[in-house]
């Protein structure tokens, strides 16, 4: 019996270790949540909305909402689109996750993302009721679309180890503890993913220093569209978005405790990445440089991408005429 208990304990430890990631000195074990390319995922529940309703009938709409990414959504927006000539809003759910109804067609919500204490993220259902209107006298039925659009702020966080080599011409006769090389990455638990970081050690104006440079490449891997962080509310309102509102990402990067200067060679605003055909890059460097006396060493590299994201789902409902004799 004692041996059986030991075997069970050993298997349990193996299973826990397989789903965990060790950081730092190994004393802290946290669940790995920075994987996947989803943020907010939405879907209609079955038969809500139904395929068919009669004139003047109630149209129930249930939307399953899941935050499958590693970032909390605070004050996201959910916008309702429908043919106002054929439907009207009867009521919205007022409990969580709906926190504030701004208008007949717009509500706010919040959903926690994945974390070590909540590995699946928040999962909520928003429901509302529409009332079907009357259709034309000469028609027996009318197909009408219902559109749900989400708009929210999100973040992609990358934590990697970079090698800084101050001997870029290999003139020093000493062993190097690491090699400055490009970093290939996978997903980070967000719809925008950093997939590659080019690492370069460049000469500095001061001959006793070098300038680390990092070219950060990112892709929109999700099903929606990237928008400027400050345009989130506008994207879910009737206000039009301009070309400059789309595909804009604010970038911050840190090498150890130093914030890097980020720019796209004058093509974008400082600290802002622009996506073209869902891909983009930005150049970040430490302008003050690093002294040659530092040698070659490994140090943390942190990249933060902040942006807005919008995604829509739709369904069709056929309104049938009530036939009278």
Residue with the bigger pLDDT between 94 and 125: it is 125
Report the pLDDT value the prediction gives residue 94, as an integer from 0 to 100: 62
Report the pLDDT value the prediction gives residue 83, as an integer from 0 to 100: 96
Give the distance between the most distant pair of CA atoms in the chain: 100
Rounded CA separation 282/304 (Å): 12
Of 233, 215, 157, the closest CA to residue 190 belongs to 157
- pLDDT over 80 (residue 277): yes
HEC secondary structure over 107-152: EEEEECCCECCECCCCEEEEEEEEEECCCCCCCCEEEEEEEEEEEE
The mean pLDDT value for 18-44 works out to: 66
- pLDDT over 90 (residue 29): no
Of the listed ranges 170-174, 191-195, 294-298, the one predicted with least confidence? 170-174
Query: How far is C-alpha 15 from the geometric centre of its chain's CA atoms?
Result: 29
Single pTM value for the model: 0.86
- Are residues 188 and 157 in contact, defined by beta-carbon separation less than 8 angstroms? yes
- pLDDT over 70 (residue 274): yes
Report the pLDDT value the prediction gives residue 97, as an integer from 0 to 100: 66
Where are the domains positioned within the chain? 40-153+311-320, 156-308
Report the pLDDT value the prediction gives residue 208, as an integer from 0 to 100: 94
> CA of 156: how far to CAs of 43, 213, 217, 241, 295, in Å?
23, 20, 13, 23, 31
Beta bridge partners of 32: none
Of the listed ranges 23-27, 102-106, 236-240, 259-263, the one predicted with least confidence? 23-27
Rounded CA separation 142/140 (Å): 7
The mean pLDDT value for 291-318 works out to: 97
Rounded CA separation 5/1 (Å): 6
Residue with the bigger pLDDT between 239 and 9: it is 239
The mean pLDDT value for 136-140 works out to: 90
- 174-204 confidence digits (pLDDT tens): 789 999 999 999 999 999 999 999 999 999 9
Query: For a pLDDT cut of 90, what percent of the chain falls above it?
Result: 76
- 228-262 confidence digits (pLDDT tens): 999 999 999 988 899 999 999 999 999 999 999 99
Query: For a pLDDT cut of 70, what percent of the chain falls above it?
Result: 87
Element (H, E) at 92: strand 87-92
Using left for φ > 0, alpha for ψ between -120 and 50, and beta otherwise, residue 121 falls in: left
Average model confidence (pLDDT) across the chain: 88
Beta-carbon neighbour count of residue 240 at 10 Å?
Answer: 8
Report the pLDDT value the prediction gives residue 101, as an integer from 0 to 100: 85
Q: Report residue 95's pLDDT band, with 50, 70 and 90 as the boundaries.
A: low
Report the pLDDT value the prediction gives residue 99, as an integer from 0 to 100: 72
User: CB-based contacts of 144: which residues, under 8 Å, 6+ apart?
Assistant: 82, 83, 86, 87, 316, 317, 318, 319
- pLDDT over 90 (residue 213): yes
- pLDDT over 90 (residue 12): no
Give the residue ranges of DSSP H helices in the chain.
2-18, 232-235
| Domain covering 40-153+311-320: architecture | Sandwich (2.60)
Of the listed ranges 14-18, 112-116, 302-306, 309-313, the one predicted with least confidence? 14-18
Report the pLDDT value the prediction gives residue 325, as an integer from 0 to 100: 57
């Amino acid at each position: 019996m004692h041996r059986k208990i030991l075997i069970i304990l050993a298997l349990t430890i193996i299973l826990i270790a397989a789903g965990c990631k060790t950081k730092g000195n190994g004393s802290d074990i946290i669940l790995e949540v920075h994987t996947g390319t989803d943020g907010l995922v939405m879907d209609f529940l079955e038969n809500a909305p139904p395929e068919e309703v009669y004139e003047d009938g109630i149209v129930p709409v249930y939307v399953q909402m899941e935050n499958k990414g590693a970032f909390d959504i605070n004050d996201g927006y959910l916008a309702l689109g429908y043919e106002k000539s054929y439907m009207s809003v009867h009521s919205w759910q007022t409990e969580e996750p709906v926190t504030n109804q701004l208008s007949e067609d717009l509500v706010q919500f919040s959903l926690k993302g994945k974390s070590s204490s909540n590995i699946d993220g928040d999962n909520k259902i928003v429901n509302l009721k529409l009332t079907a209107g009357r259709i034309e006298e000469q028609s027996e039925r009318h197909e009408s679309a219902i559109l749900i659009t989400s708009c929210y702020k999100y973040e992609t966080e990358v934590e990697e180890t970079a090698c800084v080599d101050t001997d870029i011409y290999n003139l020093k006769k000493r062993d190097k503890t690491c090699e400055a090389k490009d970093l290939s990455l996978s997903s980070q638990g967000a719809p925008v993913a950093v997939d590659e970081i080019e690492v370069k050690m460049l000469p500095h104006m001061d001959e006793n220093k070098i300038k680390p440079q990092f070219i950060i490449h990112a892709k929109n891997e999700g099903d929606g569209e990237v928008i400027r962080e400050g345009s989130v509310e506008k994207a879910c309102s009737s206000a039009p978005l301009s070309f400059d509102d789309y595909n804009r990402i604010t970038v911050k990067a840190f090498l150890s405790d130093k914030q890097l200067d980020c720019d796209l060679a004058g093509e974008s605003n400082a600290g802002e990445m622009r996506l073209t055909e869902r891909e983009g890059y930005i150049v970040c460097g430490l302008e003050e440089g690093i002294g040659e006396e530092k040698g070659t060493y490994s140090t943390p590299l942190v990249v933060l991408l902040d942006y807005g994201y919008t995604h829509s789902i739709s369904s069709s409902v056929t309104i049938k005429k009530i036939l009278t004799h």
